[in-house]
Amino acid sequence: MSDSSRSSCAVPSQHTPFSFGMEPKTLAITAIAIASTPFALLICWNFFLPFLFRVFSRTVGSTLGWYLRKLTDGRRSLIIRATTENEAKFRESKSSAKDSSSGSNNSSDDEGWENIDGSILGTSGNGEKGDRDWDGIVGFFHPFCNAGGGGERVLWAAIRATQKRWPNAKIVVYTGDHDVSKDNMIARVKNTFSIDLHPPTIHFLYLSTRHWVLSSTWPHMTLLGQSLGSLIVGWDAFSLLVPDIFVDTVGYAFTLGLSKILFPDMPTAAYVHYPTISTDMLQSLDPKTSVGSQGVNAGKGVGFKGAIKKYYWKVFAAIYSWMGASVDVVMTNSTWTQGHIQSIWGPRRKQRGRENAIAVVYPPCAVSEIESQIELSEESEKKRQKYIVYIAQFRPEKNHQLILQSFAEFVKTGTPSAKEAKLVLLGSVRDDNDSRRVYKLRLLVNELHIKDQVVFQLDAPWSEILQWLSKAFVGVNGMWNEHFGIGVVEYLAAGLICVVHNSGGPKLDIVTDVDGEPTGYHATTTSEFAEGFEKALSHPDPLTVRRRARLSSERFSEEEFAKKWLAEIEKLVAMKM
């Protein structure tokens, strides 16, 4: 073979089939770069981004904060002056009212404020002289303060306790309820919750951007959208007034994070009713986990869309942790919520040197009112009927379907208790979606052949709810991971024997033993609920269980809430003294 033949034949290529024309050295460098990308991203996330965040907050953030303080100095002066003038007018009108009603047994609403039990005031754990004379401004961020629900009861009870503890402090509520005046708002709080507020020291500042936190504004990526929207509403609030202490009583962690970026020295507090995202939520996406069949997003983490949802939720959880960890004082409404917030916020709080432990502060419930309205005695026991009541809004997570199916299974047993029993669904209908949900539940009742034993009571007033509580036998709750369960506390206070979902607040905090004896039953499946109904309705000594339940409910009174609330807020005041 000639030399020329050899040169045209089998000379090995310098490139492997998968080198795509790269030199070995270049290929090795590329492979190392690709392999190290996850580590580079990790370093960026844990070191570089936090560094940029700190630089931003110390420069741009603080500059914007300084600008907002200057912008709102005029309104601060107006609020201070208006408080002084209102207080003088209030005292004058009160003195005139006392003179005109001399000798009368009637008392005004103003006197009701003065007569609030002083035991809720507590004592300062800080020992600071003059602490009671603190006269700063406390801002409460609650854009939907006129909603009239359990979250609003927390807000108003917190404000009342704060007013009593620091009479000279000014209270500002950031709200989007433009259609309600201050006088009407205070009157509604009195009528709805029997809470007396001190008018001179409370002020309402009206937000113009509340629509940014509505779920309807964010039909896709709702969690992130509402959280980003809360930044807009938070900026709106601080553009109206920068308070001395900032308190969020709704659950907008991003707003609290924004406050620390703008005002690093401003003490902040969060009362968390429910974590925006939790480990249970993340696990529920996977149908193979223990909670993969629970909640409104059960099993939705499969397939391509499911993988995207999982990734999105994990990223959101990381941002949520970052924002929430900045809060100085954190209160949760239950042990369940505390555990999840500790899991999500705790590690970063420790990194940032947040020394205050996350505290459980049970929401104030109408325990005293129910006790005064509903008698527990041998005589009242004769008036009880085999009613099972479920007090809950007609929302998907309340799982009315589970309770109806459980009740149908119970009815099929044909026991004496099952033949007499009736299920009463008490709940509000907020919109067309709720109306359609009620319609579907009525169809289900027909399909289950229990129409004659199920009662729907829609939008029942409190007076009617009290009537049902006074004559019912059992109270039921069907929601998985109910964060607390004010309705369940109302069952206890009314002396009902509880059958509740074996999760969340009802399990961990509310339906617990008293002196080693039960106050109700826990259930998860339809069969377990049916068994619970049978045990409760056929109990040989129901009055004893009712008395234990009422005794247990006293842990959730307004007085207990006020004491624990003030113990936490005192920490913030101490930071300003």
pLDDT of residue 107: 44
Segment 268-288 mean pLDDT: 80
In three-state secondary structure terms, 341 is helix
φ, ψ of residue 463 in degrees (nearest 5): -60, -40
Residue span of the structural domain in which 229 resides: 40-87+125-273+327-364+559-577
The answer to whether position 22 is within a domain reads no
Report the CATH number at residue 504: 3.40.50.2000
Q: Please check whether residues 499 and 384 belong to one and the same domain.
A: yes
φ, ψ of residue 144 in degrees (nearest 5): -120, 50
Contact 229, 218 (CB under 8 A): yes
Q: Please check whether residues 175 and 225 belong to one and the same domain.
A: yes
> 293 pLDDT band (50/70/90 cuts)?
low
Q: Please check whether residues 257 and 393 belong to one and the same domain.
A: no
pLDDT digits (tens, 9 = 90+) for 171-183: 999 999 999 999 9
Q: Which residues pair with 476 in a beta bridge?
A: 499
Segment 484-507 mean pLDDT: 94
Q: Please check whether residues 205 and 337 belong to one and the same domain.
A: yes
Q: Is the pLDDT of residue 109 over 60?
A: no
pLDDT of residue 398: 92
Residue found by looking up tokens 């009239």 in the block? 148
pLDDT digits (tens, 9 = 90+) for 454-485: 999 998 888 899 999 999 999 999 998 888 99
Report the CATH number at residue 179: 3.40.50
pLDDT of residue 204: 97
Least confident of 48-57, 71-80, 368-377, 454-463: 48-57
* CA–CA dist 474, 478 (Å, integer): 13
Q: Please check whether residues 446 and 537 belong to one and the same domain.
A: yes
Name the packing angle between helices 150-165 and 182-193 (round to 10°). Answer: 110
pLDDT of residue 126: 45
Contact 128, 577 (CB under 8 A): yes
Q: Is the pLDDT of residue 340 over 50?
A: yes
Within 394-534, strands assigned E span: 422-427, 454-458, 474-477, 497-501, 520-523
* CA–CA dist 301, 288 (Å, integer): 10
> 115 pLDDT band (50/70/90 cuts)?
very low
The answer to whether position 98 is within a domain reads no
The answer to whether position 93 is within a domain reads no
Q: What is the DSSP letter of 357?
A: P
Exposed e or buried b for every residue in 444-462, given b needs 16+ CB within 10 A? bbeebebeebbebeeebee
Contact 421, 410 (CB under 8 A): yes
Q: Please check whether residues 256 and 178 belong to one and the same domain.
A: yes
Q: Please check whether residues 445 and 510 belong to one and the same domain.
A: yes
* CA–CA dist 565, 158 (Å, integer): 7
Q: Which of 292, 297, 294, 354 is nearest to 329 (CA)?
A: 354
**pLDDT cut 90: percent of the chain above it:** 63
Q: Please check whether residues 313 and 441 belong to one and the same domain.
A: no
The answer to whether position 191 is within a domain reads yes
pLDDT of residue 40: 52
pLDDT of residue 1: 45
Q: How many domains does the chain have?
A: 3
pLDDT of residue 301: 59
Q: Please check whether residues 282 and 376 belong to one and the same domain.
A: no
> 123 pLDDT band (50/70/90 cuts)?
very low
* CA–CA dist 288, 290 (Å, integer): 7
Question: 360 versus 28: which is more confidently predicted?
Answer: 360
Q: Please check whether residues 486 and 512 belong to one and the same domain.
A: yes
The answer to whether position 31 is within a domain reads no
Segment 43-66 mean pLDDT: 69
Contact 477, 488 (CB under 8 A): yes
pLDDT of residue 277: 85
The answer to whether position 450 is within a domain reads yes
Q: Please check whether residues 239 and 216 belong to one and the same domain.
A: yes
The answer to whether position 156 is within a domain reads yes
Q: Is the pLDDT of residue 286 over 70?
A: no
Q: CA torsion, points 141, 146, 151, 157, in degrees to nearest 10?
A: 80
Contact 444, 403 (CB under 8 A): no
The answer to whether position 113 is within a domain reads no
Contact 468, 427 (CB under 8 A): no
Segment 342-355 mean pLDDT: 90
Q: Identify the top-confidence range among 292-301, 309-318, 529-538.
A: 529-538
Q: Which of 536, 533, 537 is nearest to 403 (CA)?
A: 533
Mean pLDDT of the chain: 85
Q: Please check whether residues 481 and 380 belong to one and the same domain.
A: yes
Q: Which residues pair with 517 in a beta bridge?
A: 514
